[in-house]
Chains A and B, each alone.
Chain A
Amino acid sequence: MSGAKSMAHAAGPVSRDPLEPALMIEGNQTDATLNDSLFDYIWKLPSDGWKKLFGLALAGFGLLIIGITVTLYKGIGAWGNNIPVGWAFDIINFVWWIGIGHAGTLISAILLLFQQKWRTSINRFAEAMTLFAVMCALLFPLIHTGRPWFAAYWLMPYPSVQGIWPQFKSPLVWDVFAVSTYFTISLLFWFLGLVPDLASLRDSSKSKTAQFVYGMFALGWRGSGRHWAEYKWAYLLLAGLSTPLVLSVHTIVSFDFAVSVLPGWHTTIFPPYFVAGAVFSGFAMVVTWMIPAREALGLKHVLTMKHLENMCKVMLATGLMVTYGYIMEHFIAWYSGNDYEFSIFFRTRQRGPYAPIYWLMIFCNCVTPNIFWFKKARSNLAIIWIASILVNVGMWCERFIIIVTSLHRDFLPSKWEMYYPTWVDWTIFAGTVGMFSTLFLLFLKFVPAVAATEVKELRHEMEHDAHEHQAGAAVAGGSH
């Protein structure tokens, strides 16, 4: 807020609308100062904090290798999965990770189409998170086949010696197409946005090696007006294509459940409720990483409190949507008069053996975000950070509840069985967190975490608007 005030003073006695929100870029910036401050940390040696975190993340990555090795050596029997709980940690983690990825696409594509300018400095960050989260997610369906080297053979429609094709009426096959498309498009969108920034890095680098490496990735970008003309359209169209794509991905993920007949899964509310949950958890993950990163990388002038506040508001909104989803599920279970539905929602989940996880989910997802009704909470970093972690925990619990409770007690009590994860399950889960962190820390060190080109463009536009505003005010003042 103080930055906003100082900028207003610097710009002269322009009467600002009191309802006008705080600025998205703090201080008096030019293209050159933005360029320097946004890339500053890339040219510096990694800080001690970064090294420590990276060591920790690498250790986590090691866990993943151990977990996967044991799984491949022993087979899926190393996991706690059983019949009836055939889907457990692998699918919980798959859905959790893919949901986390959704915030990136939402921020980069949907907010671009809605011309929400505050997205500019957080989109790169969130898109990178999408990529890494989707990588973690993709790992689970691959290794849960037990023989991942056969996965292409089972999943992809290519002419194999068996002469059999995938069954395209199955949501599981839709999932393969949805998730792989999502990964590809997210990668292209992210890289296309990155090209001008890589060119800036190439041109502001001081060493030959950096110039060469960034130069190669920049593809020879020279800011040509002819290139920009096509580039802008390509970027916009990619955003336009990503928007329905992101909605379709989690919709299709939810079809994996909703198309079955299992009580607790067989509901039409699943697609919108999964998408809302995905955005909810994704924003929480962005916030969890952004709070320490803006501090460590010296990016507070472009990742301002306004950004955090807006993200809190999105978390509040999506959290309420998720809560509505829970209420609706329970209502329909009661209203339908279906005994099995009623039993799963009102007995098994609330009072069954996994009830503590259910109530933790309710607390984290339905109670926690409500703190963001208060401006005080939305501007307190510690509260935002803790709440964002709770939301991540809550969303993981949600997937656990949906998958495990529905499976472990379905129609016939003689089929009922408890599910307990083994150490291998936990190791792989912790390992993907390690892999995500490793990739993310590498990204934070070597790639501009803030889309410098877009921030400069935003600054240019804001300056332009301010001039017009000033000119307009002068004209209005003259006519009085």
Chain B
Amino acid sequence: MSHGSGFVPRRFVLGQFATADSLLDGTTKMREKGHRQIDTHTPYPIHGLEKALGLGRPKIPFIVLMGALTGACLAYAMMYYMNVVDFPINIANRPIHSPILNIPITFELTVLMGGTSAFFGVLALSGFPQPYHPLFEADSFRRASIDGFFCSVEVPEGQEVAAVLEDMRAVGSTEAQIVEESER
């Protein structure tokens, strides 16, 4: 398909599966057939999806750990600088630097930075917000967030779509179709 604007649509093969188990099975088989850009679309997380998709360890825990540590260091450094270095106030000769009294705010900022990095980490890793995705072109894809189990394979430029569609049919999908990005 040629477009005057030089727009090359992304192409996907989308297969629907009857149950979660058949989706897991089909996804594993698609991966074994050598397809790389596979994804599944389900209304809720299904046990075993990571394995079927061949995903590595999730990145979020490390991101959250880093966020939390940053929060802790930042909080302590802030309090130390403000109350000890920049403007020490002597109150009834109590120690200017008291680690115990710095615990609450250090803890709160640890949680704050850890929590925000969990949230924004997911957004960043998923590429959100991204209101449009070529898969939304398929009408039946609406069910992916309601009660449908889908497997999608992105077909790279230059590769034949028909063969991928054939594979998708062979691994047990009840319905398989080609989805193309539309030019906006």
Question: What per-residue 1/0 map shows which CB atoms of A226-237 lie under 8 Å from chain B?
Answer: 111111111001
B87:A163 contact, CB within 8 angstroms: yes
With A35-B146, A188-B116, A203-B143 already in contact, the answer to whether A248 and B108 are too (CB < 8 A) is yes
Interchain CB contact (< 8 A) of A241 among B20, B111, B133: B111
State how many angstroms separate the Cβ of A384 from the closest Cβ of chain B.
31
| Dominant secondary structure of chain A at its interface with chain B | helix
Interchain CB contact (< 8 A) of B89 among A167, A219, A230: A167
| Dominant secondary structure of chain B at its interface with chain A | helix
Q: Which residues of A contact B44 (CB under 8 A)?
A: 196, 453-454, 456-457, 460
Cα A357 to Cα B146 in complex, Å, equals: 51
A188:B109 contact, CB within 8 angstroms: no
Cα A252 to Cα B122 in complex, Å, equals: 30
Query: What's the interface size class on A, roughly?
Result: 35 or more
Question: What per-residue 1/0 map shows which CB atoms of B73-101 lie under 8 Å from chain A?
Answer: 00000110011001101010010001001
With A165-B87, A230-B126 already in contact, the answer to whether A204 and B146 are too (CB < 8 A) is yes
Cα A460 to Cα B149 in complex, Å, equals: 13
**Partner-binding segment picked from A15-23, A134-142, A177-185:** A177-185
Which residues 416-446 in A have Cβ within 8 Å of B in the complex? none
Task: Report how many A-B pairs have Cβ atoms within 8 Å.
Answer: 199
A199:B145 contact, CB within 8 angstroms: yes
Report if A215 contacts B (CB, 8 A).
Answer: yes
Report if B105 contacts A (CB, 8 A).
Answer: yes
Interchain CB contact (< 8 A) of B39 among A200, A224, A230: A224
Which residues 160-211 in A have Cβ within 8 Å of B in the complex? 163-169, 171, 173-174, 177-178, 181, 184-185, 188-189, 191-192, 196, 199-200, 202-204
B78:A226 contact, CB within 8 angstroms: no
Report if A475 contacts B (CB, 8 A).
Answer: no
Report if B53 contacts A (CB, 8 A).
Answer: yes
Report if B144 contacts A (CB, 8 A).
Answer: yes
Q: Which residues of B contact A32 (CB under 8 A)?
A: 146-147
Interchain CB contact (< 8 A) of A228 among B42, B91, B109: B42
Q: Which residues of A contact B125 (CB under 8 A)?
A: 227, 230
What is the number of residues of chain B that contact chain A, defined by CB distance less than 8 Å? 66
Report if A472 contacts B (CB, 8 A).
Answer: no
Cα A199 to Cα B130 in complex, Å, equals: 12
With A184-B115, A220-B129 already in contact, the answer to whether A226 and B122 are too (CB < 8 A) is no
A248:B131 contact, CB within 8 angstroms: no
Task: Name which residue of chain A comes closest to B151, CB basis.
Answer: A225
Q: Which residues of B contact A192 (CB under 8 A)?
A: 118-119, 122
State how many angstroms separate the Cβ of B27 from the closest Cβ of chain A.
8
Report if A222 contacts B (CB, 8 A).
Answer: yes
With A174-B105, A203-B142 already in contact, the answer to whether A224 and B119 are too (CB < 8 A) is no
Q: Which residues of B contact A166 (CB under 8 A)?
A: 82
A181:B104 contact, CB within 8 angstroms: no
Report if B7 contacts A (CB, 8 A).
Answer: no
With A174-B105, A225-B41 already in contact, the answer to whether A230 and B59 are too (CB < 8 A) is yes
Cα A121 to Cα B114 in complex, Å, equals: 27
B108:A181 contact, CB within 8 angstroms: yes
Report if B171 contacts A (CB, 8 A).
Answer: no
Which residues 233-251 in A have Cβ within 8 Å of B in the complex? 233-234, 237-238, 241-242, 244-245, 248
Cα A173 to Cα B114 in complex, Å, equals: 21
With A227-B126, A241-B111 already in contact, the answer to whether A222 and B135 are too (CB < 8 A) is yes
Cα A255 to Cα B100 in complex, Å, equals: 14
Pairs A-B, 6 closest by C-beta atoms: A31-B147, A225-B40, A457-B44, A165-B82, A220-B130, A203-B142
The chain A residues found within 8 Å of chain B, CB to CB, are: 30-32, 35, 157, 163-169, 171, 173-174, 177-178, 181, 184-185, 188-189, 191-192, 196, 199-200, 202-204, 215-216, 219-234, 237-238, 241-242, 244-245, 248, 252, 255, 453-454, 456-457, 460
The chain B residues found within 8 Å of chain A, CB to CB, are: 20, 27, 39-46, 49-50, 52-53, 55, 58-61, 64, 68, 78-79, 82-83, 86-87, 89, 91, 94, 98, 101-102, 104-105, 107-109, 111-112, 114-116, 118-119, 121-123, 125-126, 128-133, 135-136, 141-147, 150
Q: A204-B142, A223-B41 are in contact. List 20 more A-B contacts (CB 8 A).
A: A164-B87, A167-B89, A167-B91, A169-B83, A169-B94, A173-B105, A178-B104, A184-B115, A192-B119, A200-B145, A220-B133, A222-B41, A225-B50, A227-B122, A230-B58, A230-B126, A234-B60, A234-B64, A248-B107, A457-B45
